[in-house]
Chain A
Amino acid sequence: MATKTPVSTTINGEPVEFLCEPRQSLLEVLRDTLHLTGAKEGCNNGNCGACTVILNGVAVDSCLVLGVEVEGAEVTTVEGLACRNELHPIQQCFLEDAALQCGICTPGFLVAAKALLDKIPNPTEEQIRFHLAGNICRCTGYDKIVKAVQHAAQEMAK
């Protein structure tokens, strides 16, 4: 067993400490060590976006970040979006607008959309499509997802 490294970080606003091997990706640490299974392993090489988390304010593929790299960082996963029993407006709009089918891409889309709306609160359709191009959906299609993000932007502006 390789030596494990202690890592102190902040996940969804809570201080978290964990031990990991340097070769473990952030995605593996989130899912296997911290049991935050919202981020999904799709391609595991940065093509599908299903493992998207927000790292220090920007969306990243957690499969392409090592667990040891988040020392001192701030991480937001899809588990950090809802507030107690209340869904985040982006989640609510995805539900209302039927912007999901099988759901495996959804956590990645929600987190990527959150990062986008944090940066650009009122994005154009083109900006939404540009910023979500790293997330792949293989069943719903993108129109409903784009509409749900536009809807969420309107809700969040209220």
Chain B
Amino acid sequence: MISAFTYKSPTTLKDAIASLASEPGKSEVLAGGSDLLALMKDRIATPEVVVNIKSIPNLSGINVAGGKIQIGANTTLTDLIEHAAVKKNLPALVSAARDLGSTQIRNVATVGGNLCQRNRDWYFRNGLNPEVKEELQYSSIFPMEGQVYVHPSTLAPVLIAYGASVTVASGVDAAGKEKTREIPVEKLFQVSDLKGKREVVLAPNEIIVSVNVPVVDGVKAAEIEVRERQSHDWPLVQAAAALTVDASGTITKANVVLGHVAPVPVRASAAEKLLVGKKLDANLATQAGKAASEGAKTTPKNEYKTALVEVAVKRALLGAVGNEYWKGA
């Protein structure tokens, strides 16, 4: 049985923020529970207060308006992948959400929770047990601040490629109204120290309210995950690509984002630079894949990941324009 805690199930955002603020650093947000409860069972998280945010109205559901799709943070992944406008406009996001976890997990796991989940590093999940540190086959090939874990979210790289942002509720103003701030998904992540410093830049009393994805005509996107198992597993490497292509077929904007290679989702800037101003073909996609893996700091255990990055980027780019060559003629 997990450690005892005080359970709160506020029905307003304001009360939820107040509950989180009352025990800063000792409280946790409970949304889908698929990450938090597993962490609590392993005594990696031992909060004194658990704030269930599922009773707050308006935190779930999807709105399409003003050139963007606004996804409530509590929207489950099942509801996300079955939403008509999301399927039509954000196929790469559907692909990532569909490949994630299992039906049971997608039925509870939320979009906000996916972004706020803790990393899956075995060392972290084993209570910082030094004996586990040697298992490095899944580790980062772009280590940052001495950390070698990889960021677990597969929605994040896709959301960054689409240019999405999150709206965060952060405290209450003098008039008693919730204050919000907008953060690009790209700026949401930081390198955790595996202790007090989380994988997200949010303060302990901040809650993601929605994820806002711009819908831009002419943007073509795809994501590729290279996996050991096709279902119910984390990918070894993920690449997300969103391309803006003009009438002549020239790439005018390229967003290429990698997942599962670094402690935060990372933009493959060298690949992006290479692509802009050119027309996409298999040769250019191959070069972009090579550019994306440049600068990797690998170990004998994880060097295979550079080859996976190359092929994942190539496939994401060609897949974005409808060339799924790897599925056979």
Contact = CB atoms under 8 A, between A and B. Distances in A.
B323 interface: no
Interface in A47-69: 47, 49, 52, 58-61, 63-66, 68-69
A44 B41 contact: yes
Given A68-B7, A133-B102, A28 B107 contact: no
Interface stretch (B12-20, B32-40, B60-68): B32-40
Contact of A47 (B3, B4, B9, B232): B232
Contacts of A37: none
A7 B217 CA distance: 49
Nearest to A25: B37
Interface string A127-139: 0001111110000
Interface in A80-133: 112, 115-116, 130-133
Given A23-B2, A66-B37, A61 B7 contact: no
A19 B33 CA distance: 21
Interface residues of A, number: 33
B125 to A, nearest CB: 10
B290 interface: no
A52 B7 contact: no
B34 to A, nearest CB: 5
B105 interface: yes
Interface residues on B, range: 20 to 34
Contacts of A46: 34, 38, 101-102, 104-105
A8 interface: no
Contacts of B108: 60-61, 64-65
A24 interface: yes
B4 A2 contact: yes
Contact of A22 (B6, B32, B42, B107): B6
Contact of B33 (A58, A59, A64): A64
B103 interface: yes
A5 interface: yes
B1 interface: yes
Nearest to B229: A133
B54 interface: yes
B7 A64 contact: no
B33 A66 contact: yes
B52 interface: yes
